[in-house]
Structures are given as C-alpha cells and as structure tokens.
Amino acid sequence: MRKYSTSLKKWHDRHCRLYQKKKRIKINRYLIHQKYKPQKYKFTAPMIFSLINNREETEIFFNSILDIYAKKNSTKSKSFNTMYFDLSQVEKISPDAIMYLIALVNNIKYKISKKFFVQGSFPKNEDAKKILIDFGFLNYVNSQSITGIKPKNELIQIISGCKVDPDRAAEIIDFIKAHSECNSLQLKKIYTLIIEIMANTVQHAYNDNEVLFPNWYICVNTGNNIEMTILDTGSGIPSTVSGRFKDILYYALPDRESRIISSALDGDFRTETKQKYRGKGLPCVVECYNNNYINEMLIISGKGSTILRSNSNDRVLKDSKESFLGTIFLFSI
Amino acid sequence: MIIIKIRDDFTKSPGGRLIEEGAYSGELFRNNILSPKYKEALEKNEKLIVDLDGCYGFATSFLEEAFGGLCRELKDNNILKHIEIISEDEPGLVEDIESYVKKALK
C-alpha cells in the first residue's frame, strides 16, 4: 500500500508538472502571437508628392515607412505585415517621389527580406495618376485595374540597376540626342556624368544600411527642357565624406549638410575609400555644370540640398528638418 | 606601331572603374587590352597608340583605372613615353590622362 501510494504520488507530480508545462507553452504562444501578429500599416502621401516641391512632407511620408520597416525588420517575427501606401489624395507628383516609392517597394519586396506585403491606391487626381503610370510605376508593381499601357516616346521611364550599366547610359544619350540640339561634346560629358553617378552608387555601397539596398534609378522627360532625374539609394553624400573634415570644419555652421554637399562637389573631401586617386565623381558633375553642358542642377542628400542655377554663380544651400536617405540629382539640359 | 581603337577593340560605351562595378570597366580594359598591348609594344620597341574617338564618353574613373592603374601595376609612371593618346572628340582627355599618370604613384 505504501509502495503504491509513493508511485501514485510520483505519477501525480509528474503529470502536474507536464500539465503545467503544457499550459505555460500555450500561454507563451498566445503572448508571442499577440506580440507578432500581422499588422497593417497605412501611410498617406501628401497632396504635393514631390521631394523637390514639397520636401518636408514628402520626407516625413518616406521616413515613416522606413521607420516601421526598420523596426519590424529587426524582430524575429515570421508573420507577414502589410504596408499600404495611400496615394489617393495626391494631386501633384514628380518623378523623384515616384522613384523613391519604387525604391522602397523594390527593397521591401525583394532585396532585404520578405516580411511585408505591399499594397496601395492610385491618386484620384487623373493628372497625377497619368504621371505615375507614364513614368513606369506599373513596371515595378502589379495592378489589376490598369493593364496594357504603352510607354511614351517623349520620356525614358524609370530604369534601375545596382551596377554601372553603360548600355543603359548609351540609351539615355541616344534619347537626349534625338530630342535636343546638344552637340557631340555635350553628349559625351552627359554620358560621363551618368556613368560617374552610377559608379558612385556602387562604390559607396559600403554602408551597413539594412533598409535600402544601394541602387540607382534614372528617368528622363522632355518638356521645355530635357530633365533628367537620378536617385542613388546609397548612404548619401554627407555620411560618406571623410569624417575628419565634416566634424571639425562644419559641425557648428548653419545648413551644415548642404555645405558638405557643396564642398564635396568641389572635390574638397576624400570619400570613405580614402584612396588619393579616387573621389573624382562629384567634381565631374560640377564640371559639367561649370562648362554649361547642363543648365541647372539640384542635389538633395541627407538633410542638405544644393541648387546650382544657370546665370548665377551663387549656390542655394538649405538644410531640411528631415533627413533623406539617399541622394537625388535633378539636371536640366 | 601598335594601335588600340577602343570603339572597335573594346566597346563604344565604356563603364566605370572596377570589374565588380559593372560592364566594360577600366580594369577590364587594362587587364585584357591595354596592359598586354603595352608590354608587346615595349618588347618590340614600338609606340602604342590609344585612340579614344568614336565612343559615347569616358568616366574619369575608367581612364584613371586604365592608365593610372597601369602605372600602379608596373610601378612605373613613365608609361606615356611609350603611349600616344588620340582624342579629337574630347581633346581635354589627353591632359586628364597625363595628370592621372603623374599622380598614380604618389
């Protein structure tokens, strides 16, 4: 009897422990599910969706996406969250914003990890919707409502890559040649400029940036002038120039990051490669402007922006409150 | 006399600096064409002519890696004694290459 009661007690204890363990696991699973359950994040684009014409609001929109992405990407959750880009209120849109949106969608969907579904809505404004489609947004996303759009002849839709692509650069030059009166030397210098910016994206891809994979995006459109927009989703100019200069000389000055961009254009800084024979890419861009191969130039990177206008030697430097991850070049030819 | 016409012997659309950075790079041009032809010219005691005309354009990084890179490879910055550069489309490139060669070993 005594023997039986001991073994019964042992069985009972074991059973209780097993039961409690199972219960604990069940509770933990529930808590984990609650913590990591799929969520839907909605981001509403501003009415003027343009980094050039409405920089601050557009940057807030993009940075809020990047913040959520970075936060969710660092968790161990295997569940898929949804990002919904609401463009319905957009009334004016420019290629630079379309490019950055494409860059974000590309990175979220394919490059970094597959933790998100991406969904969105088109602008209700027909003009804005048309611009979005004309610049090739549908080449990067699927749409059930709009299909069979033919590319327009008067622009080069947004193209992208992560390496120097001379064939694409040559296509752009052929397009500019067909739609402008640029002379042979001017075309060669613009080709050089495109290759330099593509190369900068590759060379400065030594960031530990897990949010945006370094890529270049280019589009060209014709109007009164030919306008070429290039986006480089690397670390940005202010964070890639040598730390020594930027900290000592520029720390206390207003519009600090704009000044860093301006100085980098003049070749004042060594870049992170620290090799003396390198870092000639940005000065080459300014050389194009100084020799009138391009009329106007706008560069946005980090918090900084630098505008070089035709018929003026002064550069317009202005820092924004928000920081832009990457670099945008806008050239008027 | 040994002649390299980049448009015909390499490409009409030269790229950036390194092979890993993309197609038609300066490093590829140096490894496959410039360096072997330069060594051949030295052996035969002939002049090497490099014709840059007829291409879309040249990035500074391409030219620096090709010519400056040849200096670094051979540890000799007198390579232009044996090379003649032709660039009628962009005359400034000759001067640029000379400066890359001068600075290559500094």
ipTM: 0.94
Share of chain A above pLDDT 70, in %: 79
Residue in B with minimal Cα distance to A287 = B60
Rounded distance between C-alpha atoms, residue A113 and residue A135, angstroms: 26
Chain A residues with CB-CB distance to B58 below 8 A: 188, 192
Q: Where in chain A is the domain with CATH 3.30.565.10?
A: 151-333
Residue in B with minimal Cα distance to A167 = B13
Rounded distance between C-alpha atoms, residue A100 and residue A102, angstroms: 5
Chain A residues with CB-CB distance to B95 below 8 A: none
Write out pLDDT tens, residues A273-287.
555 555 567 777 888
> CB of A87 within 8 A of CB of A119?
no
Predicted pLDDT of residue A317: 80
> Taking 70 as the threshold, does the pLDDT of residue B100 lie above it?
yes
CATH topology of domain A38-138: Transcription Regulator spoIIAA (3.30.750)
3-state helix, strand, coil in chain B (%, to 5): 55, 10, 35
Phi-psi region of B26 (alpha: psi -120 to 50; beta: other; left: phi over 0): alpha
Sequence-ordered list of residues with C-beta below 8 angstroms from that of A210, at least 6 positions apart, any chain: A70, A73, A112
* DSSP 8-state code for residue A222: E
β-pairing, A315-317 with A304-308? Answer: antiparallel
Sequence-ordered list of residues with C-beta below 8 angstroms from that of A301, at least 6 positions apart, any chain: A236, A237, A238, A257, A261, A324, A326, A327, A328
Chain B residues with CB-CB distance to A199 below 8 A: 15-17, 21-22, 59, 61
Identify which has the larger pLDDT, A107 or A64: A64
CB contact under 8 A, B57 and A203: no
Predicted pLDDT of residue B40: 93
Predicted pLDDT of residue A248: 53
CB contact under 8 A, A277 and B21: no
Write out pLDDT tens, residues A256-279.
777 888 777 777 665 555 555 555
Q: What is the mean pLDDT of chain B?
A: 92
Rounded distance between C-alpha atoms, residue B56 and residue A189, angstroms: 9
Q: Is A198 on the interface with B (CB under 8 A)?
A: yes
**Token code pair at residue A260:** 């860093």
Q: What is the mean pLDDT of chain A?
A: 81
Chain B residues with CB-CB distance to A271 below 8 A: none
CATH number of the domain located at residue range(s) A151-333 in this protein: 3.30.565.10
Q: Where in chain A is the domain with CATH 3.30.750?
A: 38-138
> CB of B101 within 8 A of CB of B77?
yes
Write out pLDDT tens, residues B18-36.
999 999 999 999 999 999 9
